[in-house]
């Protein structure tokens, strides 16, 4: 397995974030397709600078983050614009020699007969087909639903749709152990986030994520039902989690996500934390 960082969370801008990723010993970076890297605003000059910086810093672009915002693909009236955005992010990923775009798509309903299930399915099938035709994946991030339900939804979507496994999202929302879900997801996992956290008050994941849709990250912090922590200080059992990934044959990126302002020191610590575990386990 390889260690990556989310360049934007160093808090120093995209280009310097890529350089910081190399300095802390990571092998790759994930970047947000937003702000200075939003496809609609991105200039060829800026794109070439990103590519050159990543190459000079020996950083593989592990994934792009294509955040849909709001309710993801749950509301049909919002989906044409969001589908177009994700297609443009897939194209950008190709420019960066990257085969994965991660995103939150909303809460997959428990029942396939729920009208929202069909709305989300149709959107993801369109985006997934677009990704597959370009040798890429749209990787749905874990958190809002049981992994078995997400895995079944991914299978219904067909080619080009996979899973971005974030153990902390599972821990923080429901308080459940994220390790069994690794086996439920299996080969559908094409990218992971290395994040840790604590559940302070177990709650319905759908309520949690719909609150996030309305009030954003700061609103979630004010709600105070969970807390993200530096790696090793939360409830993720990293030994068992890494062993589970190894057992399913996952050999991709563990991309450190630390969603706080100026999280550079925690990111640097996390690189060492993961490196020590990988060495100890022989991975």
pTM of the model: 0.96
Q: What percent of the chain has pLDDT over 70?
A: 99
Q: Across all residues in the chain, what is the average pLDDT?
A: 96
Cα separation of 163 and 139, whole Å? 4
- pLDDT tens digits, 119-140: 999 999 999 999 999 999 999 9
- pLDDT tens digits, 229-266: 999 999 999 999 999 999 999 999 999 999 887 789 99
For residue 167, pLDDT over 80 is answered with yes
Cα separation of 189 and 156, whole Å? 16
- C-alpha radius of gyration, the chain, whole number: 18
Query: What is residue 88's predicted lDDT score, i.e. its pLDDT?
Result: 99
User: Which CATH number covers residue 74?
Assistant: 3.20.20.150
Beta bridge partners, 162, equal 139
CA-wise closest residue to 101 among 80, 121, 86, 114:
86
* Assigned token pair, 215: 């009030």
Higher pLDDT, 204 or 270: 270
Q: What is the pLDDT averaged over residues 11-39?
A: 97
- Domain encompassing residue 40: 2-281
Query: What is residue 220's predicted lDDT score, i.e. its pLDDT?
Result: 67
Query: What is residue 117's predicted lDDT score, i.e. its pLDDT?
Result: 98
How many structural domains comprise the chain?
Answer: 1
Residue 102: helix, strand or coil by DSSP? strand
- pLDDT tens digits, 180-238: 999 999 999 999 999 999 999 888 888 888 888 888 777 667 677 899 999 999 999 99
Q: Where are the alpha helices (DSSP H) in the chain?
A: 14-23, 44-56, 79-95, 115-132, 147-157, 167-174, 179-185, 205-223, 238-247, 264-281
Query: What is residue 222's predicted lDDT score, i.e. its pLDDT?
Result: 64
Cβ neighbourhood burial of 98 (10 Å; 0-12, 13-18, 19+): buried
Q: What is the pLDDT averaged over residues 33-59?
A: 97
For residue 60, pLDDT over 90 is answered with yes
Cα separation of 235 and 176, whole Å? 9
* Assigned token pair, 97: 């020699």
Q: What is the pLDDT averaged over residues 264-270?
A: 97
């Amino acid at each position: 397995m390889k260690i990556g960082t989310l360049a934007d969370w160093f808090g120093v801008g995209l280009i310097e974030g890529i350089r910081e990723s190399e300095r802390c010993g990571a092998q790759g970076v994930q970047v947000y397709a937003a702000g200075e890297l939003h496809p609609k605003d991105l200039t060829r000059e800026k794109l070439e600078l990103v590519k050159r910086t990543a190459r000079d810093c020996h950083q593989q672009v592990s994934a792009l983050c294509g955040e849909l915002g709001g309710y993801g693909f749950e509301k049909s009236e919002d989906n044409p614009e969001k589908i177009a955005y994700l297609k443009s992010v897939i194209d950008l990923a190709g420019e960066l020699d990257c085969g994965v775009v991660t995103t939150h798509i909303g809460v997959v309903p428990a029942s396939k007969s729920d009208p929202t299930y069909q709305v989300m399915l149709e959107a993801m099938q369109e985006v997934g087909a677009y990704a597959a035709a370009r040798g890429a994946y749209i990787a749905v991030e874990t958190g809002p639903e049981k992994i078995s339900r997400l895995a079944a939804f991914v299978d219904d979507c067909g080619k080009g749709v996979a899973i971005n496994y974030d153990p902390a999202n599972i821990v923080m929302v429901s308080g459940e152990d994220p390790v069994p879900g690794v086996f439920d997801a299996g080969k559908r996992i094409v990218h992971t986030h290395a994040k840790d956290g604590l559940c302070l008050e177990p709650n319905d994941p759908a309520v949690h994520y719909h609150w996030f849709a309305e009030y954003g990250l700061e609103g979630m912090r004010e709600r105070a039902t969970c807390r993200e922590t530096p790696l090793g200080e939360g409830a993720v059992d990293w030994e068992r989690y890494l062993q589970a990934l190894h057992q399913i044959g996952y050999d991709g990126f563990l991309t450190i996500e630390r969603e706080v302002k100026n999280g550079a020191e925690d990111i640097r610590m996390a690189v060492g934390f993961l490196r020590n575990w990988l060495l100890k386990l022989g991975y």
